[in-house]
């Protein structure tokens, strides 16, 4: 049985990935400081799978405590590194907190892995590393650039990981560049739980549930079919399965886009949510959000060709599962 250390495993994508790993027979150890999550997500994953997770409430900024986890948990085969701060707007306001947490946390983790001989790591990167991409759909080989401190941290972490692999031929690094993860596990037991949503779907979910009065559409004058921004949304369970496929087949440094290859506009997303939830969902057009691009969708074939991994769930499942989670857990994990 392979043993995987999941940093940030109590969070949105980490909890769904831990569930997939347990179901596939892996042993899961989670390290998370719960700065943006709750231990309840871990309990629910255990309940859904009927399996145990070893949980350490540890901050990656605390190198001694992180090393202690790796020493206490011998024979870790791979690390999946989700732990990071991720709010783009906040990163512009508080850049040092982002650089410190995301970069120092990653360096501490890598040092601890080196000291304990763990050589395989899958990293949560983001489509944000393409900046304002010229070529759409964007291939993995496109030029990189970031438009905010959060994106800079992702670019820097990609570079640090790649350099570490160059220096150590035993090391395997897979960089997964996620597009827009949405949805929830079909049970409705785990899902995304933001107190103040920054992203479109969690915001729409909360409007549909009556928690917020309306959704603001950030601009309808983009050069897109209906004037609103187009993104590639991927079901979080498809994304979770991509992580399992990545750790099952590590080989040197690999970089993959993780998306579906199909883009939807903000208006299309809201309309689908109206239809599926039966909620009215008031919407108002406002100014563009600074730093947003008109369209960002990936070339999504490489991960299919090399890892045999393909998104299976479409927009209806994404929204049905998001709404199931939201309506079943109006206060998220905070009840």
Rg (CA), the chain: 19
Own/partner long-range contacts of 156-164 (Cβ < 8 Å, ≥24 apart): 156/103, 157/102, 157/103, 157/106, 157/123, 157/125, 158/123, 158/125, 158/129, 158/255, 160/103, 160/106, 160/107, 160/110, 161/106, 161/110, 161/121, 161/123, 161/253, 162/253, 164/110, 164/114
Residue 212 per-residue DSSP state: S
Query: How far apart are the two ends of the chain, measured CA to CA in Å?
Result: 35
Residue 298 interacting partner from ligand NAD, ligand UFG, none (CB closer than 5 to 8 Å by kind): none
- Minimum Å distance from CB 113 to ligand NAD? 15
Residue 149 interacting partner from ligand UFG, ligand NAD, none (CB closer than 5 to 8 Å by kind): none
Between CA 307 and CA 294 the distance in angstroms is 30
Binding mask 282-301 for ligand UFG (x = CB under 6 A): -------x--x---x-----
Q: 72 vs 97, which CB is nearer to ligand UFG?
A: 97
**Catalytic-role residue among 26, 98, 150, 178:** 150
- Minimum Å distance from CB 199 to ligand NAD? 6
Residue 60 interacting partner from ligand UFG, ligand NAD, none (CB closer than 5 to 8 Å by kind): ligand NAD
Residues that bind ligand NAD (CB under 6 A): 8, 10-14, 32-37, 59-61, 82-86, 101, 105, 124, 126, 178, 180-181, 199
Residue 266 interacting partner from ligand UFG, ligand NAD, none (CB closer than 5 to 8 Å by kind): ligand UFG
99 included as an active-site residue: no
- Minimum Å distance from CB 130 to ligand NAD? 12
Residues annotated as catalytic are 150
């Amino acid at each position: 049985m392979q043993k995987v250390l999941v940093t940030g495993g109590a969070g949105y994508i980490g909890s769904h990935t831990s569930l997939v790993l347990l179901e596939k027979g892996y042993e899961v150890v989670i390290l998370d400081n719960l700065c943006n999550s709750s231990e309840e997500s871990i309990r629910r994953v255990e309940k859904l799978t009927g399996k145990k997770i070893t949980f350490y409430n540890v901050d990656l900024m605390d190198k001694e405590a992180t090393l202690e986890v790796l020493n206490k948990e011998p024979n870790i085969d791979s690390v999946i590194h989700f732990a990071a701060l991720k709010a783009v707007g906040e990163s512009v306001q508080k850049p040092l907190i982002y650089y410190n947490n995301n970069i120092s946390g990653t360096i501490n983790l890598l040092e601890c892995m080196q000291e304990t001989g763990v050589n395989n790591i899958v990293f949560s990167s983001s489509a944000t590393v393409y900046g304002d991409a010229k070529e759409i759909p964007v291939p993995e080989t496109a030029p990189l650039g970031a438009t905010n401190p959060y994106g800079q941290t992702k670019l820097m972490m990609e570079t640090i990981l790649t350099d570490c692999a160059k220096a150590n031929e035993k090391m395997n690094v897979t960089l997964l560049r996620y597009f827009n993860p949405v949805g929830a596990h079909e049970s409705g037991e785990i899902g995304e739980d933001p107190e103040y949503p920054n992203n479109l779907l969690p915001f729409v979910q909360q409007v549909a549930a009556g928690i917020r009065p309306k959704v603001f559409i950030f601009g309808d004058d983009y050069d897109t079919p209906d004037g609103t921004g187009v993104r590639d949304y991927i079901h979080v369970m498809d994304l979770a399965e991509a992580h399992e496929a990545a750790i099952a087949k590590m080989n040197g440094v690999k970089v993959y886009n993780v998306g579906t290859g199909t883009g939807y506009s903000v208006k299309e997303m809201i309309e689908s949510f109206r239809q599926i939830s039966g909620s009215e969902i008031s919407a108002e057009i406002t100014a563009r959000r600074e730093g947003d691009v008109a369209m960002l969708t990936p070339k999504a074939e490489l991960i299919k060709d090399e890892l045999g991994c393909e998104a299976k769930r479409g927009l209806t499942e994404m929204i049905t599962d998001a709404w199931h989670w939201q309506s079943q857990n109006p206060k998220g994990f905070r009840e």
